[in-house]
Amino acid sequence: MLCSCRTRSRGALVVAALLLALPASAAVHHPVFSLSDNRVLAHLIREGGLFVAAGHPGLAKYLNFARPPSSWRLGAKEEGRAVALALRKLVVLRVPLSAEQAASARRLVLSLKLPRAGKLHVRLNGTDLEPMPLSASFQTATLQVPVGALVAGENRVQLQLGGGRAGSGERSYAALEWLYLGERALGAPGLLGPARGRRLVLPRDGGLAYYVHPYRGARLRARFGAAGCALRVRMVAHGARPVEVVRGDGGKAGVVEATVELGAIEQRVARLELTAQGRCHELELSEAALELPGPAPTLKRGKAPKHILFWMMDNARADRYKLYNPSTRVETPVLTELGRSGTVFARAYVQGNESRVSHASIWTGAYPRQARFLEPKAKLDLAWVTFPEAIQKAGFHTAAWLANGFVAKRWGFGEGWNLFKNYIHDKADVPQPSPLPAEGLAGYAIRSLEKPAKDRLFIYLGTIDSHVSWRGRQPWLKRYHPEAYTGTVFKKDVPGLVWVKIATRERAVTPEEQKRILAIYDSTVSYNDHALGQLLATLKAKKLRDETMIVVTADHGEELWDHGRAGHGSTIRQELVAVPLLIHYPPLFGQGVVVKQGVDTLSIMPTLLDAIGAPIPETVQGESLLPLAQGIGAGYPRPAIASQYELAHAMRLERWKLRVSGVGRSELFDLESKQGEHRELSGERPLEVRWLTDALSTWLTFQDRWRSLRWGVASNHTAALPDDLESGSGPGPVRPGAAAK
């Protein structure tokens, strides 16, 4: 029996449906987002309010992006209780509230212990609460919350702890067990987490909230058993009325398998609440997942490539390629054709915004904080297993010709090569004319192919045409700047020393000069594409093309007055961190595939090794992109992550980008709007802010241990992540030469 009715709930129009003993749809579906596996991202609801279990690893999503990173220690124990230790006198949590929670919350309740008697000072957003004296023991502190102190969306909870530090053991200012913001004082909270084992538990009049982005056609499937209990699903999205659906068993014993169509929130960010209603004490979900129609994709293994060509472009922005920006004037026919018959990763981020950091992450498969290539004099630790070492060990003859001065033996990049030539540093080997242009580097690779073929070849070309100094290239320069140039400085090129002064704003440029500089830069992109075409033509002539996997990417981009500044290394805007990433090898990656989920370029290393069947080192934090190219994991949004020397970070999920400063200040942008990164939207789109905050703050907190092959990605976890974090087991921190436990 189906009962549909219209009721009013707190001023919002709600559509409710009670379905008795509803069987799951017979159509084939496959799970794409497990609510249990992603329970670290769940927000606990108790008696209508927000409950924060500080002893659970899910606290990570409230830690203000771990700024400063040493404010809390998670996973601690105090008198047998699971707690988080406040390691500073003043600590901050950022918590989301629904509109109903913000309007009704009148109490802030905390269970905590100070090392010695003192006062607790709390500030909610800009409102100071009445200070409360506390003794040196576990206690429940209840503070009154003034009307208007809380807002729908993000709320800043600042705790100032006046008892002093503990004198022995962990030097902390407090042990926080839990925190509650709700309508009335909370008694014994019961379950201090979202789950019992892997089963999600919804207390009566309580439950869980997830911030999600279902794709078109998605549904929620749940399995539970509780006589007299019903599952209430509430969906809230920006600009839409809330929708409620209730599924229950009509008071009968047995297992309920229920489905809820998510058409009301598909293709956008939403708050998805699951709460328990009825006479039962609690509702236990043995299964709960977002699903998409059709069978789950499976990995198909074609013939492994015999050879690999890796073409690295320095300083190449993604928007200069028609594969990424169809309206660009820049001609890159070689990459366009490769994309039509290969796999294009449409949302690829580099992990650094300049050459040294970015290359270190690509070389090691590790994020910059782990690669430790952040200081001006830093060198890559030789204990790392780099991708050339792993490929060489797999039986490939490895050869590299480079023109980037930072990718050199002196910086730790020289291991694993049978042939390694950096023509910035190897002056004695530099012939004339200069090999630094892409045609020169490609020429070395072409000549190497004239010799008797090695059994398996790995060729790496590190080109720098689009990195200053820029040399104007014909015939493209005439096409991009056909009018006569009357200046003197930028007739044929953009000198590096002059560009440095422009980037540091020591030298102004006229509108005519700016137009000329942009044309010169664009001509270098087209020239580089032309040189790649020459090398590919040789591979084809030698009958090597069909058995060669081709990888094309860049180490970073360049700001060209898009936001009033020029250069790179100073921001993490799209112009710097969004780069081309293309893989061409149809037997494994298919033809004409466009991957719209986010990816990181540090995943190139495990992708190469996976393609050739070589083992992936346990220190790699990225993931093979081969499954994703075949649709595995493509049913739910995946992030792209970038950093600016690990001081500022950015994450993109779908059209949304969150930038976080070194003090934890976040900014939200809609990259598919006309304003892009010119308009900040966090005040207007709180659901989107929280969706990205959950993923980015969790990832930042556990970044040192993160291995995507084990834990999944920041927005969609595997079962191993909560299992490892809740049990205190799993892999240790990623360090050069260290193995996962």
CATH number at residue 285: 2.60.120
Residue 416 has pLDDT above 80, yes or no: yes
Cα–Cα separations (whole angstroms), residue 234 to 175, 210, 247, 274, 409? 34, 11, 11, 7, 57
pLDDT digits (tens, 9 = 90+) for 446-461: 999 988 767 899 999 9
pLDDT of residue 3: 33
Which pair of tokens denotes residue 136? Answer: 């040196």
Indicate whether 423 and 339 sit together in one domain: yes
Indicate whether 389 and 459 sit together in one domain: yes
Q: Are 619 and 366 in contact (CB under 8 A)?
A: yes
Indicate whether 281 and 221 sit together in one domain: yes
pLDDT of residue 6: 31
Asked if residue 683 belongs to a domain, the reply is: no
The CA radius of gyration of the chain, in Å to the nearest whole number, is: 28
What secondary structure letter does DSSP report for 545? Answer: G
pLDDT of residue 376: 82
> Which domain-ending residue is among 146, 161, 182?
182
Residue 12 has pLDDT above 50, yes or no: no
Question: Where on the phi/psi map is residue 663: left (φ > 0), alpha (ψ -120 to 50), or beta?
Answer: alpha
Asked if residue 275 belongs to a domain, the reply is: yes
pLDDT of residue 251: 57
Task: Give helix 438-448 / helix 511-541 axis angle, nearest 10°.
Answer: 10
pLDDT digits (tens, 9 = 90+) for 467-511: 999 999 999 999 999 999 999 999 999 999 999 999 999 999 999
| Residue in this structure with the two tokens 């390691």, named with its chain if needed | 87
| Residue in this structure with the two tokens 């422009």, named with its chain if needed | 502
Indicate whether 93 and 214 sit together in one domain: no
Cα–Cα separations (whole angstroms), residue 513 to 196, 477, 516, 524? 65, 14, 5, 17
Which pair of tokens denotes residue 19? Answer: 């379905």
Asked if residue 597 belongs to a domain, the reply is: yes
Asked if residue 505 belongs to a domain, the reply is: no
Residue 253 has pLDDT above 70, yes or no: no
> Which domain-ending residue is among 182, 204, 224?
182
pLDDT of residue 648: 95
Asked if residue 459 belongs to a domain, the reply is: yes
Q: Which CATH number is 444's domain given?
A: 3.40.720.10
pLDDT of residue 297: 97
Indicate whether 451 and 544 sit together in one domain: yes
Instruction: Say how far apart CA 218 and CA 292 lie, in whole Å.
Output: 5
Q: Are 471 and 437 in contact (CB under 8 A)?
A: yes
Asked if residue 189 belongs to a domain, the reply is: no
**What type of residue is 203?**
P
Indicate whether 157 and 257 sit together in one domain: no
Domain that holds residue 618: 307-473+532-632
**Strand 72-78 relative to strand 81-86, pairing:** antiparallel
pLDDT of residue 11: 35
Q: Are 535 and 446 in contact (CB under 8 A)?
A: yes
> Which domain-ending residue is among 182, 214, 232?
182
Indicate whether 342 and 458 sit together in one domain: yes
- Residue 692: which of 710, 713, 673 has the closest Cα? 713
Q: How many domains does the chain have?
A: 3
pLDDT of residue 503: 93
Which pair of tokens denotes residue 274? Answer: 């699951």
Asked if residue 660 belongs to a domain, the reply is: no
What is the percent of the chain where pLDDT is above 90?
84
Residue 579 has pLDDT above 80, yes or no: yes
Q: Are 202 and 190 in contact (CB under 8 A)?
A: no
Confidence band of 596 (pLDDT split at 50, 70, 90): very high
Q: Which CATH number is 173's domain given?
A: 2.60.120.260
Q: Are 13 and 141 in contact (CB under 8 A)?
A: no
b (16+ CB within 10 A) / e for 107-120: bbbbbbbbbeebeb
Indicate whether 33 and 65 sit together in one domain: no
Q: Are 535 and 330 in contact (CB under 8 A)?
A: no
- Residue 615: which of 603, 606, 623, 627 has the closest Cα? 606
Indicate whether 571 and 594 sit together in one domain: yes
Asked if residue 364 belongs to a domain, the reply is: yes
Structural element, H or E, at residue 103: helix 99-104
Transcribe 508-569 into DSSP letters. ---HHHHHHHHHHHHHHHHHHHHHHHHHHHHHHHTT-GGGEEEEEEES---EESTTS-EESS
Instruction: Say how far apart CA 499 and CA 503 lie, in whole Å.
Output: 6
Indicate whether 211 and 87 sit together in one domain: no
Indicate whether 178 and 156 sit together in one domain: yes
Q: Are 439 and 391 in contact (CB under 8 A)?
A: no
Backbone angles phi, psi at 475, to 5 degrees: -90, 5
pLDDT digits (tens, 9 = 90+) for 726-741: 999 999 999 998 643 3
**What type of residue is 389?**
E
pLDDT of residue 436: 83
Indicate whether 161 and 227 sit together in one domain: no
